[in-house]
Amino acid sequence: MSGEKTTPKRIYLIEREPRDEHDPGDEHLVRAANRAAALAHVARRTLKARVASQDDLVRCLTVLGLEVEEAGTDAEDPPELDAPQPQGGPVGPVGPMQAALIS
């Protein structure tokens, strides 16, 4: 297929900054069509992503100096606080302004 155009590829230097004085950092040479493709190539090989669990959130907050307190089991929430809350719709009694808009 001689009529097809191919995007010229360049070689990109992808660098990871050192985390501390004992970490040399990383360098990757990647041939790619663009900078985003080169970064994505290195990211797929070196990073992981997943939805954070509650334990993950607590661990990250603790690093920031925040503490998650543990509630005792001696008190229970009233049932109405555990029930799902309605999504949208009027809440409470209808006032004169709302009545005018509805009619």
Q: pLDDT, tens digit, for every residue of 45-102?
A: 989 999 999 999 999 999 888 888 888 877 666 666 656 666 655 555 556 656 555 6
* Residue 42: band (very low, low, confident or very high) from pLDDT cuts 50, 70, 90: very high
Look at the alpha carbons of 39, 42, 44, 48 in this order and tell me if their dihedral is positive or negative: negative
Q: Which of 17, 16, 18 is nearest to 45 (CA)?
A: 16
Q: Where are the domains of the chain?
A: 10-63
Helix then strand count (H, E) for the chain reads: 4, 2
**Token reading at 73:** 């089991």
Q: How far apart are CA 52 and CA 78, in angstroms?
A: 29
Single pTM value for the model: 0.49
